[in-house]
Amino acid sequence: MSIRACVIGLGKLGSPLAACLAAKGLTVIGVDNDPRKIEAINQGQAPVHEPGLDELLTQTQGRLSAIDDVEAAIRQTDISFIVVSTPSDPAGGFSLRYVDPVCHAIGRALAAKDAYHAVFLTSTVMPGTTGGPVREILEKASGKRVGADFGLCYSPEFIALGSVIRDFLNPDMLLIGESDSRAGDFLQSLYAQVCENKPAIARMAFVNAEITKLAVNTYVTTKISYANMLARICEQLPGANVDVITSALGLDTRIGPKYLKGALSYGGPCFPRDNLALAQLARQLNVPPDLAQTVDRFNRAQISWLADLVQHQTNGTAGILGLTYKAGTDVVEEAAGFLLAKELIARGVRVLAFDPAYGQNSRGPALEKLCFAPSALECVQKSDVVVLATAWPEFSALKPQQWVRNGNPKRTVIDCWRAVKFLREEPGVHYLALGLGEGFV
């Protein structure tokens, strides 16, 4: 008999997760309180913006449906994934205001269910949560015991928006915090059925898995910030090139090449939050949080530094290409381009922006006084200085002459990702690339 799965939360991670499971042969019931998402899933349409999701939904072949009733979904399935939001709280930790009611509903359904059921929490939580509040709510609501009557695992996904499907099907590793070996075996066998590669698997107690999730992302943000510091150094030394330096660094097996781009601030819904959460955890335990805090401060300071650079280059319109935190997603949470626009507007600079996935009709946060261009080309040609803040492929596809402004002064192009280096040889452009010691001194 095939496994029947329930995915609770059909947002930017939950919807692709549900589609992946169904495409790999599982019968999946998605649960959400948003009628629009439920309707979209039941019509075979993507309820969120994620590359490849529409195509993947065509492969589910009727095995994926959606409802708004957690208890009904639990009664009909063997396993459940909790993929609801855990917003940051004022202290830097994670709120359980969406997790708690889901756990109450799961517990009530388990009370009336005889068959074994395994609950998998994927939402990022603070260490001590899965074995603490989550376990307590499930046991109290069900009248049953974790490990004896039902299983519980904490298994966060290390995936990035814009590549959720690829990352879920081909993970570097699987992290499983388990209540008992039966629950861990169940989840591991499920991943063996779904994953297209053979990832490393780390199984451990809840608390170790919870710490590991925060530790992985904080280590990555530290590595990104280190490369960005090198980029700032290179900009002040003629002939210096951060790509040459980080390529050499990456050859050292103690370091490795990933996340050594040397460009602009990290952003998105995970990296900044997890970094601050690890710092908060350290403070709670009277452990110096300096490293994580310094990385966060350095990352945020990059926006002010870039705004200074933009202001120094123009008294007119500043164009920003890319408001989302990375190509392939419509998310602007903690995105460098969006934060730069906000900072410049606060300083009285006129800002014109273009992003392929974010615009006037987006459901993302609005920014008063931000003007939108209908195309990348118009954004460039109506701006005195252009900041390439997100490396969308269509930006580098513009022809060299389309960046040129005839007459004086030349149009300044600040290339945060060295994506349009061909402009270095273009006489009609004042080209500045972050990480290159050309034109900064």
Q: Say what angle helices 206-235 and 271-284 make with each other, to 10 degrees.
A: 120
Q: Please report which confidence band the pLDDT of residue 272 belongs to, taking 50, 70 and 90 as the band edges.
A: very high
Task: Identify the pLDDT of residue 38.
Answer: 98
Structure tokens at 143: 């009248």
Mode of pairing for the β-strands spanning 151-154 and 173-178: antiparallel
CATH fold for domain 268-433: Rossmann fold (3.40.50)
Nearest Cα to 386, choosing from 345, 341, 441, 425?
341
pLDDT higher than threshold 90 for residue 368? no
Looking at residue 364, its pLDDT comes to: 59
Average pLDDT over residues 408-415: 91
All CATH 3.40.50.720 domain ranges of the chain, comma separated, are: 4-204, 268-433
CATH for 4-204, options being 3.40.50.1220, 3.40.50.720, 3.60.21.10, 3.40.50.300: 3.40.50.720
Order of strands, sheet of 151-154, starting from the edge strand that comes earlier in the sequence: 64-67, 27-31, 4-8, 79-82, 118-121, 151-154, 173-178, 200-204
Tens of pLDDT, residues 140-187: 999 999 999 999 999 999 988 999 999 999 999 999 999 999 999 999
pLDDT band at residue 363, thresholds of 50, 70 and 90? low
pLDDT (tens digit per residue) in 109-152: 999 999 999 999 999 999 999 999 999 999 999 999 999 999 99
**Cα–Cα nearest to 244, from 232, 255, 260, 229:** 260
Active site residue 270: yes
pLDDT of residue 441: 56
pLDDT score recorded for residue 360:
44
In the prediction, which pLDDT does 361 show? 43
Beta bridge partners of 3: none
Peptide bond into 365 cis (omega under 30): no
Strand 151-154 to 4-8 pairing: unpaired
Of 153, 270, 379, 416, the active-site residue reads 270
Q: What percent of the chain has pLDDT over 90?
A: 91
| pLDDT tens digits, 187-224 | 999 999 999 999 999 999 999 999 999 999 999 999 99
Q: Nearest CA to 17 among 186, 151, 189, 195? A: 195
Q: Return the minimum-mean-pLDDT range out of 55-69, 271-285, 355-369, 389-403.
A: 355-369
